[in-house]
Structure 1
């Protein structure tokens, strides 16, 4: 949304409440957007490098409630963070990330200052499932550490990556965390069934996790999977352990997600399992 915007209230140097030409209230957030501005004036956006417009009413109210609880300098850095994400993604994303990521990272820094660390048990799964978001999140944490003189742990990269993916897909963090937990559980079942320890840094693990992620997405979108009856027959005869295990995993996913998986998924999953099998 483009201006002109009439300034209604200045929350701080980096956040202002404004009115559009149609008298709709919006929240503008940008580094220095409120500096030397006055209530009732038309925003001089030539003095503002970059800014975001929060349009959704519920998001505006949440953001207004959050702003007084974080420092101006932090809000300024978060504006740089959001722009870094937007430039790297080059796509539209849910404006809720302004609230969710600001809230998460401000709390993470408070915990860090209090000596309270929070481990991320799904860091590798997150990196494997969302490699693009993870790479961007690495840059976000580097920027935060540099600008705010903190040392956020690597686990925060995974949390930020989930927030980025959530904003792109409009899926909640709770939902995405459920997928990570499910895949972690499936890998444990595979290790127990095949009597192997799967290297979390190996290429076969990478392929397996990405396949499981895509299988889950196909199931939720009810997308068909091309059937290979001859291949299925061969795999069933040659690799019965992996074939039966593939169906065990599918049943776990179906129960957890309350969705249906096409029979052909077992074929592709069997091939991934065979790569992990010691026999």
Structure 2
């Protein structure tokens, strides 16, 4: 995974990826991807980089080879990926993991190759589930397809917007792999299904409380998967009050806790239950 670091070395050009992206190494021969307006313009191998142009610096993990990762991605795809990332950060009002540059550009390059070779992806259930589970990211996925069409003249199938949306989800959560994102998506779907069934409602996917609820699930699952559960003393009095005040949401949270334990061997402590009950109550009340 890539991460942002400070610019405190002399950088030498390895390869200009496009006008705004350069593959470079420092004085210790470590490789980086550098962002900056015009930073790659007319840059040749071994040219020094003007540090005043650098706005972001990304370094790979020790076991990754940036050159190899970038070798199969064309400059125009990198350029449109950069534009999509900027759009995503603007729409969502937050910084996204720099790993998105590599994962998304690789995905877009593969999708374009499939399109040119006439290989069609079968419709996926994700195509219909993602807009419900991740409303904001799904819209970004659709906007990304429009950008790709406008910038590259390639009209990718609608199903690709769902996969692009998942890349945005992954970049926000800082997960290790897309497999983890897919697992969290599956679990979120199961939780939403329990809530809708018990309360006999269809949750409003574009509401603020729904967005907060799904975000809470993602962060909770991220902690669970990486054993980062916050250990703190549960406020038993508050827990008892919430049980009494929101009995149906409490019953729903118990069903979710049991499902997570039975199907995924995940434990939800009482402190997490408090937040889960409150989120359930809010999202259902808003729908009703």
How many Å separate the matches in 1 of 2:31 and 2:114? 32
Distance in 2, matches of 1:245 and 1:273, equals: 13
Do structure 1's residue 233 and structure 2's residue 244 form an aligned pair?
A: yes
- Cα deviation per residue 1:80-123 (whole Å; 9 max; x = unaligned)? 33444456667554332221111111122233342513532431
1:77–1:144: 8 Å Cα contact kept in structure 2?
yes
* Corresponding position of 2:187: 182
Provide the rounded CA distance (Å) in 2 between the counterparts of 1:82 and 1:274.
33
Q: CA deviation at 1:258?
A: 1.7
Identify the match of residue 268 of structure 1 among 275, 278, 282: 278
Conserved 8 A contact 1:27-1:55: yes
- Correspondent of 2:134 among 93, 115, 127: 127
Q: How many pairs align?
A: 263
| Per-residue deviation, 1:13 | 5.1
Query: What is the DSSP-based 3-state SS (H/G/I as helix, E as strand, rest coil) of the residue aligned with 2:134?
Result: helix
Q: Is the 8 A contact 1:26 1:53 kept in 2?
A: no
Change (3 A) 1:174 1:52: same
- Report the structure number with the largest CA radius of gyration: 1
Structure 2: where are the runs of 5+ without partners?
Answer: 1-5, 224-228
2:226 corresponding residue in structure 1: none
Partner of 1:214: 216
Superposed CA RMSD:
4.0
d(CA) in 1 for partners of 2:93, 2:196? 39
Alignment partner of 1:19 out of 22, 25, 35: 25
Query: Match for residue 78 of structure 2?
Result: 75
CA distance in 2, matches of 1:257, 1:213: 21
Contact 2:88/2:140 (8 A) holds in 1: yes
Where does residue 247 of structure 1 map in the other structure? 254
Are 1:10 and 2:15 matched, yes or no?
yes
Whether 1:107 and 2:118 are equivalent positions in the alignment is: no
Offset of residue 243 of structure 1: 4.6
TM-score (norm 2): 0.68
Task: Give the C-alpha shift of residue 264 in structure 1.
Answer: 3.2
Contact 1:246 1:273 in 2 (8 A): no
Aligned to 1:258, which of 263, 266, 269? 266
Name the structure 2 match of 1:151: 155
Candidates 182, 198, 204, aligned match of 2:202: 198
3-state SS in 2 of match to 1:101: helix
Inter-partner Cα distance in structure 2 for 1:56 and 1:202: 36
Q: Distance in 1 between matches of 2:77 and 2:43?
A: 20
Name the SS for the 1:97 alignment partner.
helix
What is the rounded CA distance, in whole Å, between the counterparts of 1:248 and 1:97 in structure 2? 35
TM-score normalised to structure 1 length: 0.70
Contact 1:6 1:41 in 2 (8 A): yes
